[in-house]
Structure 1
Amino acid sequence: MKEIFEDTATAFALKTDSELERAYFLFKLIANEPLVKIGTAVTNFAIKAHLPVEKLIRASVFDHFCGGVNEEECLVVADKMFEKGVSTILDYSVEGQEVENQLDSCYEKALKTLDFVKEYAAIPFIVFKPTGFGRFKLYQKITEGHSLNKDEQEEWQRVVNRYDKVCKKAHDLEVSILIDGEESWMQGAADELAEAMMRKYNKKKAIVFNTLQTYRWDRLDYLKRLHKDALENNYFIGMKVVRGAYMEKENDRAGEKGYPSPICESKKATDENFDNVVAYMVENLDTMSLFAGTHNEISSYRLMELMEAGNIEHNDPRIWFGQLYGMSDHISFNLAKEGYNVAKYLPFGPVKDVMPYLIRRAEENTSVAGQTSRELTLLKKERKRRKI
């Protein structure tokens, strides 16, 4: 397999010299874990105290990791990326809503986004988080098998209706929709809802995609059970496969509550689980569509090798590679140059509302071994190439 991820000229072609310098500066900061913790605490305080810090955040971390505060601003970024063969997933990155008007607002934003992208080739997916459409505690109560009172039953029906209306519209417009994964202790209810939407709207092809977080050791078995159901009930599975975003929180809660951790015992086990899930899906492309969300070069090469071994065209519509905007451009743009289907998650929303997402990005980059150092190595290489 030809190694393609060292080509920094392709990776950073869209970045001006000043944007390259900003990226280098940001990843230098993120590499310092104590600084990230201090910066997170200060930023949270400043926003809660209504201090005038939004312009500073906007000019630095927000503009690096986000497309803008609204869909229109994102179009500028989406158009530029699409010129290089990289598609966009609009991600209204507001999560963890608790009251009905906030949940309705996220739901209405998803409908509006579908209208916005329906004939826009550069944006073949939209995405939403379960906690954008329903309260975390409600998902948790259902996942844990507790009975709902009358008010909660009515509340849950509103959540179901939000899912159904958005997925129906995605189906009617033929725009694929990704449903993100969240914490394990609420994910069971979210999985059941996503499955119901697949049974209903994935009759001809995968429109609705759920998410498998493969740092959970049970996810391949879950996928196999779902596959059996799909074969019996004649629908297609759409699945975004990722490693996961809540590892420390999952392990901490398992320790506090005294139950076995749902997380794989090691990074190596997680990597193997991710690759095994991807391989299973590639083997079953007749009934599955795969969105491989990974910043891992080895896993990307392995998927490329699986496609080559199976004589699968680079642009087969059933296989997509995905990364987050502002990260792993060496993977995204070099894959696109080779003709693979690639899409970047492009978050947008009001600066203060997107801060939980941005803080998670900084914390993940700090905790994932090698991620930040790899970004820095490539940025250094490109700075040297440009003689900055």
Structure 2
Amino acid sequence: MTSNSLFDNTEAAFQLKSDSELERAYFLFKMISMEPLVKIGSAVTKFALNINLPVEGLIRSTVFDHFCGGVNESDCMTTVDRLFDVGVYSILDYSVEGKEEDAQFNATVNKVIELTEFARNKEAMHFSVFKPTGFGRFKVWQKITEKEPLSDEEKVFWQNIEARYERVSKTAYDSGISLLIDGEESWMQDAADDLCEKMMEKYNTERAIVFNTLQCYRWDRLDYLKNLHQRAKAKGYKLGFKIVRGAYMEKENERALEKGYKTPICESKKATDDNFNEIMKYILDNLNDIELFIGTHNESSTYLAMDLMKEKGIVESDSRVWFGQLYGMSDHITFNLGSEGYNVAKYIPFGPVKDVMPYLIRRAEENTSVAGQTSRELTLLKKEKERRKL
């Protein structure tokens, strides 16, 4: 069994933080722990940015700099290099959301391609990443998922989405970089899964280049994985999966209630945790066919993964198993895994302050709603502040 005190090592966890950055992190998590404050703060921030009040500097020096790498990729390079010096890889995530125009989708594709080609020559970067709705309108994904007929205009939109996936997947394949495709709402996800499967079949012939995401708060994901595994074995290609708990729970439950169908979400937090761990076990049992990226801030699941790897004789640095956490969160997991020789990466969001705001607000709300996450961060930050005083 792995020693369950590895993640208590705050000296390793916060080794890259100066005293002032440590204070800022403590202050931010203190604010985030107060739910009414997060709600008011989010609303005020959106309003201020929409009417162009000069608040970008303030946002940048607080919440933005804590959770994001910068406004562009060159901004992020110092962080990428510092992380790599202590055994942590970086995944640059162009976190611009909620666009609707073809020109914006094409710009996102070009940015992902640019980052993928850049990663080819950067040892510290093993993955590239994108969000399906960054490549095309949500409505089109939804209509295909719900098997509704597309208008002629929408058919063209869909062809454009397919072409964007193809361009990015081919670039990843040519660059030898793995591509993580994020998961989204269940009512658009089938279309994204099917398209991802097509790319896996084409490009994952020798190893996993294209990775889909399994949101394990959905009770149907283990069956989906097992069925896809059978199809992939029959056709002779590899699978790649990033597993996460999931990011749209309230939205999913509300919609299911409103439209009168059974919610796709597990009935409890425990059921979600069990599902996550079952899916993780299944993939580790089938590592010759499926590569795994464990995206989690949960200590128990991380310890379990480490134990399973030991049990199965999978070495820490096995290139088929990766761990990942978001930049600005769970440093106690990331840096301690890195110091033990595991493959671990930070997801580093970047982009213009105004465009990254929806991402930041979601992060703050998520931290508020995940019981224990924020208080754990605060406890560790406090412990490190005291250690440094001594």
TM-score after normalising by structure 1 = 0.99
SS of structure 2 residue aligned to 1:5: helix
Cα offset, 1:116, TM superposition: 1.7
Mean Cα deviation higher: 261-270 or 146-155: 146-155
Q: 1:322 aligns with which of 324, 328, 341?
A: 324
Partner amino acid, structure 2, of 1:177 = L
Cα offset, 1:96, TM superposition: 2.3
SS of structure 1 residue aligned to 2:313: coil
- Structure 2 match to 1:257: 259
Cα offset, 1:151, TM superposition: 1.3
Q: Does 1:57 align with 2:59?
A: yes
Cα offset, 1:115, TM superposition: 2.0
Q: 2:210 aligns with which of 205, 208, 211?
A: 208
Cα offset, 1:244, TM superposition: 0.4
Partner amino acid, structure 1, of 2:66 = H
Identical counterparts, % of pairs: 64
Mapping for residues 271-286 of structure 1, pairs under 5 Å: 271-286=273-288
- Structure 2 match to 1:235: 237
Cα offset, 1:258, TM superposition: 1.0
User: 1:12-62 CA distances to partner (integer Å, 9 max, x unpaired)?
Assistant: 000000000000000000000000000000000001011000000000000
User: 1:95-136 CA distances to partner (integer Å, 9 max, x unpaired)?
Assistant: 222111111110111111112211101011110000100100
- Structure 1 match to 2:111: 109
User: 1:145-176 CA distances to partner (integer Å, 9 max, x unpaired)?
Assistant: 00112111111000000000100010011011
Q: Residues of 2 paired with 1:349 and 1:116: CA distance? A: 17
Mapping for residues 32-51 of structure 1, pairs under 5 Å: 32-51=34-53
- Structure 1 match to 2:338: 336
SS of structure 2 residue aligned to 1:36: helix
User: 1:289-311 CA distances to partner (integer Å, 9 max, x unpaired)?
Assistant: 00000000000000000000001
Q: Residues of 1 paired with 2:156 and 2:366: CA distance? A: 37
Q: Residues of 2 paired with 1:184 and 1:36: CA distance? A: 26
- Structure 2 match to 1:296: 298
Q: 1:122 aligns with which of 104, 121, 124?
A: 124
Q: Residues of 2 paired with 1:116 and 1:202: CA distance? A: 21
Partner amino acid, structure 2, of 1:61 = V
Cα offset, 1:189, TM superposition: 0.4
Mapping for residues 6-17 of structure 1, pairs under 5 Å: 6-17=8-19
Q: How many aligned residue pairs are there?
A: 388
SS of structure 1 residue aligned to 2:180: strand
Poorly superposed stretches of 4+, deviation over 3 Å: none
Cα offset, 1:91, TM superposition: 0.1
Unaligned 5+ segments in structure 1 are: none
SS of structure 1 residue aligned to 2:83: helix
Q: Residues of 2 paired with 1:113 and 1:143: CA distance? A: 29
Mapping for residues 131-210 of structure 1, pairs under 5 Å: 131-210=133-212
Partner amino acid, structure 2, of 1:32 = M
- Structure 1 match to 2:75: 73
Q: Residues of 1 paired with 2:317 and 2:184: CA distance? A: 29
Mean Cα deviation higher: 230-239 or 149-158: 149-158
SS of structure 1 residue aligned to 2:66: helix
Unaligned 5+ segments in structure 2 are: none
TM-score after normalising by structure 2 = 0.99
Cα RMSD, aligned residues only? 0.7
- Structure 2 match to 1:2: 3
- Structure 1 match to 2:223: 221
SS of structure 2 residue aligned to 1:169: helix
- Structure 1 match to 2:369: 367
SS of structure 1 residue aligned to 2:7: coil
Q: Residues of 2 paired with 1:358 and 1:149: CA distance? A: 35
Q: Residues of 1 paired with 2:234 and 2:98: CA distance? A: 35
SS of structure 1 residue aligned to 2:223: helix
Q: Residues of 2 paired with 1:131 and 1:96: CA distance? A: 8
- Structure 1 match to 2:354: 352
Partner amino acid, structure 1, of 2:344 = V
SS of structure 1 residue aligned to 2:224: helix
